[in-house]
Amino acid sequence: MRRFSWFNATSLTFGFVFLYLPMLLLVIYSFNSSKLVTVWAGFSTKWYGELLQNEAFLDAAWVTLRVAVISSTIATVLGTMAAYVLVRSGRFLGRTLFSGMIYAPLVMPDVITGLSLLLLFIGIGLDRGVLTIVLAHTTFAMCYVSVVVSSRLVSFDKSLEEAALDLGCTPMQSFRLVTLPIIAPAVISGWLLAFTLSLDDLVIASFTAGPSSTTLPIKIFSAVRLGVSPEINALSTIMIGIVTIGVISASLITKRSMVRQQLEEQEAIRT
Amino acid sequence: MTQTVFAPWEDPGEKPLIQFKNVTKRFGSFTAIDNLTQDIYEREFFALLGPSGCGKTTMMRMLAGFEEVTEGQILLAGQDMARVPPNERAVNMMFQSYALFPHLSVWENIAFGLKRKKMPKSELDARVDEMLRLTRLERFARRKPHQISGGQRQRVALARSLARAPKLLLLDEPLGALDKKLRQDTQFELMDIQEKTGTTFVIVTHDQEESMTVASRVAVMDEGQIIQVATPDKIYEEPASLYVADFIGDVNIIEGIATKSGEDGYKINWSEGKEPFQAKTPRTLSEGQKAYIAIRPEKIAVSQDKPDSALNSIKGKIVDIAYLGNMSTYHVEIPGGLTIKAQTANTRRLSRRSFTWEDEVWLSWTLTAGSVLER
């Protein structure tokens, strides 16, 4: 073990405070009984109760959840397919271009992605609503899924698929019965990542949302412009909770399946 | 009592199971297999032997259907395999990495290929149990591949590839991952299973000892071509070329100029002013041609005095002794700077050994001890 050092302890503390103090304040004030956000007047959960009465927020939450589930599911299917093709099918014309392009949306500013999608939807005459947000979120979340899944596929032993073919599987069966079960943890964490990304996206959603399809982040953003209310704090706390659970379980799933495999392998060597 | 020797390749009426007909395989500009023609017969244990990159694995992958043939044809039981995908071939492969499905138990791994056959459940269960018995894995049926040892994994891989009762089983370096002792046991186990099931085995290996132990015939490969195909003893005793002689086992190679001597013998003049060595050979060499004698170390006798009878004998000095337990290899330097390896079995205790370093000894061998090679 390394020795305790004041420098390390201080920088660690500063780092964490910098990252989490704002969120911590938000969570604390969501339990404030006062209507004034900055004045503490005792513990209360009344804002959570009030939130449940707020039709507008509940509608927005429902839209957000639907968009997140649908778009992350489509993104997972497309992203897994893209990753599989890019990792597996060897060299084909334009492979480098494709694999470069799949990562491009990761670094593309959201504003540009949102704007270009808006132009596209107007161009093809698609009315903005839940469908357009789903399409937009699928587009960018797919890249993240593809990155997660392809990093797993790179270390995947190709002879497993050959063995499946050799034992009478069609290529489709080989994917379903061998490849997919083995890369499942990566696919699931890809889905969770896509889900949380969709959940907290504001910029792209505000470009592609229609009047009847406001998502929660948009609702919060517009509500805050009229002043921060404890209700918003409560809502944000819930969102932080969901996103945290999503991200933590995504990393746990990948990590645990790795650790378990290592443990079992060590056991196999011992016996 | 006469015993029938298994040698279908010598029977012209026998139909081969596999026929390579002028097969060429190119990867871009690299030619992996170069116009290769070879028959393999039913129930054979055929070994493809060669250094890495000689094309042996490519040949196997073409048989399994993972690589397409660039030119020529591969026939399996008379049928052209060109358009047949791997999952429709009566061929199964045991992979070098075993390629066991990590998410399935031993039982499910073995049943995997049978399930694709739409076999009734009772029949499937019976077949899996039979395979488990054959490979002595009954106790491990419920375990996952990472919960068993390397030797057990190897047997699961074998059981899985045999379960579908293929016409042809391909084994890609099947024992490469096992340690030496286990490998030797497994070699005999493989032969036993091959005999019991009557399946044709094609094994790819770079280990010459392994191929000699298990195979009915060995094909020595180099740069996409088969240099020689023969039974293990023929390959060892009558190599077709220096490459084969050198690749299989230990050998002394003496280069010289051939001159005819007697009916089917030649004198090889290996050094100016020295007595030429004599050897018999079925080959015909032209007068004054460059030729080589390849002699295995164990065919050279070491003695204190010049032997009376041997036609080839020469005096030398022991420069090195490799003691291997059951035998010793003497490195003997003869006039002209050549070092000859001679091997003797240690039938007596070490303390009684008669020769030691720097001793002057006589080396001798018979007319038929060595092979005369042209290249």
| Residue A89 resides in a domain | yes
| Residue A107 resides in a domain | yes
Per the structure block, which two tokens stand in for A62? 């429902």
Average pLDDT over residues A220-239: 84
**Pick among A161, A166, A169, A174 to test the B interface (most B CBs inside 10 A):** A166
| Residue A197 resides in a domain | yes
B207-216 residue pLDDT tens: 888 899 999 9
CATH topology agreement for domains B8-246 and B250-373: no
pLDDT at A126 over 50: yes
Residue A258 belongs to domain spanning: 55-270
B252-266 residue pLDDT tens: 999 989 888 877 788
Instruction: Say if A269 is an interface residue toward chain B (CB within 8 Å).
Output: yes
Edge-to-edge strand list for the sheet holding B252-260 = B277-280, B265-269, B252-260, B290-295, B371-373
Average pLDDT over residues A86-99: 79
Distance from CA of A169 to the nearest CA of B (A): 6
**Length of chain A counted residue by residue:** 271
* Eight-state DSSP code of residue B139: G
Domain B250-373: CATH class, spelled out: mainly beta
Task: Mark residue B349 as left, alpha or beta (left: phi above 0; alpha: psi -120 to 50; beta: remaining).
Answer: beta
Q: Which residue has the higher pLDDT, B202 or A29?
A: B202
pLDDT at B85: 92
A41-54 residue pLDDT tens: 888 888 888 888 88
Average pLDDT over residues A145-162: 90
Q: Which of A128-142, A177-191, A250-264, B173-187 has the lowest mean pLDDT?
A: A250-264
Q: Specify which residues B201 forms β-bridges with.
A: B45, B169
Average pLDDT in chain B? 89
pLDDT at B200: 94
| CATH T-level fold of B8-246 | Rossmann fold (3.40.50)
Rounded to whole angstroms, how far apart are CA atoms A59 and B60? 62
Average pLDDT over residues B33-40: 93
pLDDT at A29: 85
Instruction: Say if B355 is an interface residue toward chain A (CB within 8 Å).
Output: no
Q: How far is CA B352 from the centre of its chain?
A: 36
Kindly determine whether residue A165 and residue B164, on different chains, have CB atoms separated by under 8 Å: no
DSSP sequence for B68-87:
--SEEEEEETTEE-TT--GG
pLDDT at A265 over 70: no
Kindly determine whether residue B147 and residue A267, on different chains, have CB atoms separated by under 8 Å: yes
Kindly determine whether residue B117 and residue A268, on different chains, have CB atoms separated by under 8 Å: no
Average pLDDT over residues B69-81: 92
| Residue A86 resides in a domain | yes
pLDDT at B297: 92
pLDDT at A266 over 70: no
A8-27 residue pLDDT tens: 899 999 999 999 898 888 88
Q: Where are chain B's structural domains?
A: 8-246, 250-373
Average pLDDT over residues B220-236: 93
Please tell me the total count of domains within chain A.
1
Give the Å distances, CA to CA, from B243 to A195, B212, B238, B335: 63, 16, 12, 26
Q: Backbone phi, then psi, for B200, in 5-degree steps?
A: -80, 130
| Residue A160 resides in a domain | yes
pLDDT at B3: 62
pLDDT at A91 over 80: no
End-to-end CA distance of chain B: 41
pLDDT at A270 over 80: no
CATH of the domain at A206: 1.10.3720.10
pLDDT at B1: 46
Kindly determine whether residue B87 and residue A166, on different chains, have CB atoms separated by under 8 Å: yes
Burial class of residue B298, CB neighbours in 10 A (0-12, 13-18, 19+)? middle
